[in-house]
Amino acid sequence: MDIRQFLVACVLCGLASPAASAPQIDREAAQEVVFDWATQRCGDWDIPDAPARAWRDANGMVRRVAGSETSRAAVGADLDEVAHQCKVLHQGSEFDDPAAWDDRSWIAAVTTQDGRNLTALAHMEYHGNRRPEGCPSKRYDRCWFNAIVELQSTDGGKSFTRLGGAADLVAMLPWPYLGETTHRTGYFNPSNILRQGDWLYAFVFAEKTGVQARGPCLLRRPSVGTARDWRAWDGKGFGVRFLNPYRDRIDDPSQHVCQPVRGINSTISSVVWHDTSRQFVAVTPMEGRDAAGNLQSGIYWSVSADLLNWTTPQLIYAVPLMWRRDCSQPVAYAYPSLIDPDSEGRDFGTVDDSFWLYLTRMELDAECRITRHRDLIRVPVIWRAG
């Protein structure tokens, strides 16, 4: 399957048509805890703080990450038997200089063809609030500057490194660190990496900043390439090259920001190919409206034939979200991902009619604040014919 074939086929199709079938949570099944923070953590901040991703290494072992800023893996013979390990795979360098693009990092996506050599995308946060000279309020959300960087592994995912020297930058705003603003800025939360033909694809979420519109942006690069080969969708093609404002001359910033895809306005956290319906399915945490017009938060799903045009998101799992907390509830949820243990690819990029929705479940304290007590859970999904 080659995404270019879909792009040609859908030139005149507009928004993807509604699905004739739909995924549904198995309501009779309880949440299954696959990482228990209380008993399995290697430190207080060893928490699932990114969507769960999995791959098969060259020895046939399955490795799963749901990384914090000190990313660790669970390893086992298959996805149902992985055990959490304390070895740190990667962590940022916490450099004070924003031009280094290396403060705190989360492994967010992993792909491999041979199980030995891996490419990963990391969500890199620059915490200006920890450098008060550039952040008078010392507020995390107002001085949070984000970018996406690429990591490499040559040992099957036992460790990940950066090339350094800005050679591993994937997506960054065409402006230097902005200091204190009204909200976080930059590119965030990569989806998993999809391998389609000779290309790698991934979504990142963009906040509204200057000429950059808010929404999920689709990036791609050749499967044989480097971090500097990633290009973003510009509304007509993959013509956007992100530039480093600390090193590159940028005459027109509007030429170096991405155009969000259509149909979904929130983070595309996970996207897989559904074998039966022959379409892509994505999940996103968001707040939508039900048939009566009432707001409802939870995990929503959407489908697409081309990764660019998505159906209106539909609720699959009604839960309170980290960013839309229900303080009458003891927990909130974040970071959905779809993984099928039966997927034949090394990256678990496909699903059949029975798979899992993974989520991070976070305990709230008496003040409705997120705590460090965060478990990785999963619930079964069944794809039913319409």
For the stretch 109-119, pLDDT in tens is 999 999 999 99
Amino acid identity, residue 113? Q
- % of residues, the chain, pLDDT over 90: 87
pTM: 0.93
- In this predicted structure, the answer to whether residue 327 has a pLDDT above a threshold of 60 is yes
- In this predicted structure, the answer to whether residue 133 has a pLDDT above a threshold of 70 is yes
Q: How does residue 386 score in pLDDT terms, banded at 50, 70 and 90? A: low
- % of residues, the chain, pLDDT over 70: 95
- In this predicted structure, the answer to whether residue 7 has a pLDDT above a threshold of 80 is no
Q: How does residue 18 score in pLDDT terms, banded at 50, 70 and 90? A: very low
- In this predicted structure, the answer to whether residue 354 has a pLDDT above a threshold of 80 is yes
Question: Mean pLDDT over residues 179-200, rounded?
Answer: 95
Question: Mean pLDDT over residues 31-46, rounded?
Answer: 96
- Give the pLDDT confidence score for residue 206 in this predicted structure: 98
154-193 burial, b at 16+ Cβ within 10 Å, e below that, comes to eebbeebebeeebebbbbbbbbebbbebeebbbbbbbbbb
- Give the pLDDT confidence score for residue 81 in this predicted structure: 94
Distance CA 339, CA 226 (A): 26
Is 266 in contact with 284 (CB distance < 8 Å)? yes
186, 181, 93: which is closest to 139 by C-alpha?
Answer: 181
Sign of the torsion angle spanned by Cα atoms 9, 384, 261, 357: negative
- In this predicted structure, the answer to whether residue 290 has a pLDDT above a threshold of 90 is no
Q: Mean pLDDT score of the chain, rounded to an integer?
A: 92
Amino acid identity, residue 244? N
- In this predicted structure, the answer to whether residue 9 has a pLDDT above a threshold of 70 is no
Strand 231-232 with 62-65, pairing:
unpaired
If DSSP codes are grouped into helix, strand and coil, which group holds residue 31?
coil
Residues 6+ apart with CB under 8 A from 30: none
- In this predicted structure, the answer to whether residue 2 has a pLDDT above a threshold of 60 is no
- Give the pLDDT confidence score for residue 257 in this predicted structure: 98
- Give the pLDDT confidence score for residue 103 in this predicted structure: 96
- In this predicted structure, the answer to whether residue 87 has a pLDDT above a threshold of 80 is yes
- In this predicted structure, the answer to whether residue 1 has a pLDDT above a threshold of 70 is no
Distance CA 251, CA 141 (A): 29
Distance CA 296, CA 291 (A): 10
Q: How does residue 6 score in pLDDT terms, banded at 50, 70 and 90? A: very low
Q: How does residue 20 score in pLDDT terms, banded at 50, 70 and 90? A: low
- In this predicted structure, the answer to whether residue 271 has a pLDDT above a threshold of 50 is yes
Q: How does residue 275 score in pLDDT terms, banded at 50, 70 and 90? A: very high
Distance CA 69, CA 103 (A): 10
- Give the pLDDT confidence score for residue 157 in this predicted structure: 97
Q: How does residue 324 score in pLDDT terms, banded at 50, 70 and 90? A: confident
Q: How does residue 3 score in pLDDT terms, banded at 50, 70 and 90? A: very low
- Give the pLDDT confidence score for residue 348 in this predicted structure: 97
Q: How does residue 121 score in pLDDT terms, banded at 50, 70 and 90? A: very high
Q: How does residue 165 score in pLDDT terms, banded at 50, 70 and 90? A: confident
Question: Mean pLDDT over residues 262-277, rounded?
Answer: 96
- In this predicted structure, the answer to whether residue 298 has a pLDDT above a threshold of 90 is yes
- In this predicted structure, the answer to whether residue 24 has a pLDDT above a threshold of 80 is yes
Residue whose pair of structure tokens reads 């991405």 in the numeric block? 258
